[in-house]
Amino acid sequence: MKSVDPNVAFQSAEKAIAKGDWGGARRAYGQVLKSMPRDWRGFYRAGLIEARGGHYLQAEKALGRARALAPDNPDITANLAQVYLLMDRPALALDLLQAIAEKTPNISEIHHRIGLACQELGRFEEAEEAYRCAMELGSSDPAVLNNRAVVLQNLGRSMEAISLLEMLVQPGGGDAGTEMLNNLGNLYRVVGRFDDSAAIFTTAVSRAPTVSSLHRNLALLNRDRGDIARGIAAARRAAICAPNVMDGLVIIAEMLEHRADLEDATHLLRRAVIGAPMNADAVTLLARIQRREGDAVGALDVLERASSRGEALPGEHKLLFEAAQAEQSLGRFSEAFESLVEANRRQLAAMPTGRVDPDRVFQQVRGLGRLVDTVDPEEFLAASSEDADGPVFLVGFPRSGTTLLDQVLDSHPEVVVLEERPLVAGMIARVKSNGYRYPEDLARLDDATVATLRRGYLTDRGRYINVPGGHVFVDKMPLNIVHAALIRRVFPNARFLLALRDPRDVCLSCFMQSFELNDWMAAFTDIKTTAELFNVVFDLWRRTSERLSLDYHTVRYEDLIKDLRATASAAIGYLGLDWVEDMASFHEHAKRRGHLNTPSHAQVTQPVYSHAVQRWKRYGAAMDEPARILEPSRIALGYGA
């Protein structure tokens, strides 16, 4: 057998690679391996060739052999880790990458790959730290910045994510690719910066007019702005760009359902379900419309047909949430509760490990409680510079009637309500960017920092809404209830509207909703945890309101639906205004207001109703333990047995 000169074989392989002849390269490296079985270089290069060709098992084998021959070579280990990432085995990749980082901690690309592995594993805090290290070590790879922004968004730190991505779209900031523009435009949409979002999507669509996801997100933007015509047009373009993807039709149907055009929505959804029978959003919305039209049995039939196909259905928890609503409509409360338990379990189980953790919420609330208990109220409040009338903050636990109250108030010609935008979250981000911890250092904020926070809040508000002179501005974000101390510190004349509802109904309603999960919403996937969180939130509110002398007015949901005029008159009087008859037609105002991104959208576009009061009683023994947990809050808030 003729011997092979390994150097000639190496050169032959490299020439084949230069020509894109991967088959020839594989054959040449096969000769190298036969002639040099103890030389790691041959196995290493062979592994790279196999990886480039998508032959990951062969690449793993070759690189593993190379690593056995040269265990201290970081390039071999790094590329083997990359192969593991491509094989969707991030845990193995992470072990190898961390070993390299311990020996050579200053390689930015290693930290980038550690970030990728942690991101795949759902370990977002570690991923963010790894991407941050890569950037500090000088990485100029736009993918590092983009991935860090995605992780920050997953951590609920949208404002930081936006700041990162904005670095790429500024003049001289680098080449912002379509994916990054899509991410930034969508982030702007999520936080309500609609004009900025529109500008980004206009740029992105001009660069990549056939990318369906751009048109899809543009449709969502126009939906959120209340421009249904443009939203439908963009969704149609998304459907044209990707005719086998039904998302465009579903978005159109969703917009039609929101404005109660149920017949046309149903027609589109039936087409979508035929084209994509496993599309959970299409199936769920079709069933919801049938339930809204009074056919709960038909709704359950739609859901059953989808879930009985014998295939794993992405987003299957949505079907179970809707099934619970239909079962409740039919008076089958035991079955409804079982469906809710399973829906919440599946939704939480589908989340990557570590992405959401309700314990972080409890820790934050308790940290705020420690601050309130230890601060000197006189010093804390004296440190605030007096200003003109501050905003009004509409707060409460989710599902306490805040959306109904918001619609009633916004019907007044001299009231402007901003719905659930991260203005207070922006203040918290600025606290941290000014070198303070939150909430630990809240009492240490100097006058200059407080002024910066106030200006930043008002600047952010201007991005979302215009408040004419002489109008009362209401910031509606229910969970700002836990940040009342920060609000009081920055806006000493702030007033609060506190929305209350029977805690048992509140917690059951939270448990019944298919929220997009973050740390807070993840707490609602368990009815007992929801009840425990309600207790700690209102205990914090009680202590904060007492120690910091909060100026607030309470509006009970039960009073609002029993006597809308009297209850709303008292609330509007607290704001220094008088009742106007437009407030009685709030549901008509809600229809004109545009898209309402809230689980209550179908309810607030109709007159008040009372069938949600004392709903918890219909669930019998299933609510016994939550009711027991909530007893201290129920008594403290004045709700009877």
Kindly report, residue by residue over 475-490, the tens digit of the pLDDT.
999 999 999 999 999 9
The average confidence (pLDDT) of the chain is: 88
Average pLDDT over residues 80-99: 93
Average pLDDT over residues 93-113: 93
Quote the percentage of the chain above a pLDDT of 70. 89
Strand-by-strand arrangement of the 551-556 sheet: 415-419, 472-476, 392-396, 495-500, 551-556
Instruction: Using the predicted structure, report yes or no on whether residue 473 has a pLDDT greater than 90.
Output: yes
The CA–CA distances, whole Å, from 628 to 63, 501, 512, 527 equal: 60, 17, 19, 12
Greater pLDDT, 604 or 64 = 64
Greater pLDDT, 572 or 160 = 572
pLDDT of residue 1: 41
Instruction: Using the predicted structure, report yes or no on whether residue 164 has a pLDDT greater than 80.
Output: yes
Kindly report, residue by residue over 17-58, the tens digit of the pLDDT.
677 776 777 676 666 666 666 778 777 877 887 787 788 898
Average pLDDT over residues 254-281: 88
Q: Distance between CA atoms of 197 and 207, rounded to whole angstroms?
A: 16
Residue by residue, DSSP assigns 507-549 as: HHHHHT--PPPSHHHHHTTSHHHHHHHHHHHHHHHHHHHHHTT
Average pLDDT over residues 151-163: 83
Q: Distance between CA atoms of 302 and 323, rounded to whole angstroms?
A: 10
442-479 in b/e form (b: 16+ CB < 10 A) is beebeeebbebbbebbeebbebbeebeeeebbbbbbbb
Average pLDDT over residues 209-216: 93
Q: How confident is residue 591, by pLDDT bands cut at 50, 70 and 90?
A: low
Signed CA dihedral, 570, 571, 575, 579: sign only: negative
Average pLDDT over residues 150-164: 84
Q: Distance between CA atoms of 487 and 427, rounded to whole angstroms?
A: 9
Instruction: Using the predicted structure, report yes or no on whether residue 472 has a pLDDT greater than 70.
Output: yes
Instruction: Using the predicted structure, report yes or no on whether residue 426 has a pLDDT greater than 80.
Output: yes
Kindly report, residue by residue over 313-358, the tens digit of the pLDDT.
778 999 999 999 999 999 999 999 999 999 999 999 988 766 788 9
Average pLDDT over residues 96-109: 92
Kindly report, residue by residue over 376-407, the tens digit of the pLDDT.
998 888 766 555 578 999 999 999 999 999 99
Kindly report, residue by residue over 593-637, the tens digit of the pLDDT.
554 555 544 454 445 555 678 999 999 999 999 999 999 999 999
Average pLDDT over residues 425-445: 91
Q: Distance between CA atoms of 277 and 587, rounded to whole angstroms?
A: 34
| Cβ 492 vs Cβ 548: under 8 Å | no
Kindly report, residue by residue over 360-375, the tens digit of the pLDDT.
999 999 999 999 999 9
Average pLDDT over residues 562-590: 90
Average pLDDT over residues 301-312: 81
Average pLDDT over residues 72-91: 91
| Cβ 300 vs Cβ 323: under 8 Å | yes
Instruction: Using the predicted structure, report yes or no on whether residue 101 has a pLDDT greater than 80.
Output: yes
Quote the percentage of the chain above a pLDDT of 90. 59
pLDDT of residue 173: 46
Instruction: Using the predicted structure, report yes or no on whether residue 306 has a pLDDT greater than 70.
Output: yes
Please check whether the domain covering 360-636 is classified as CATH 3.30.1440.10. Answer: no
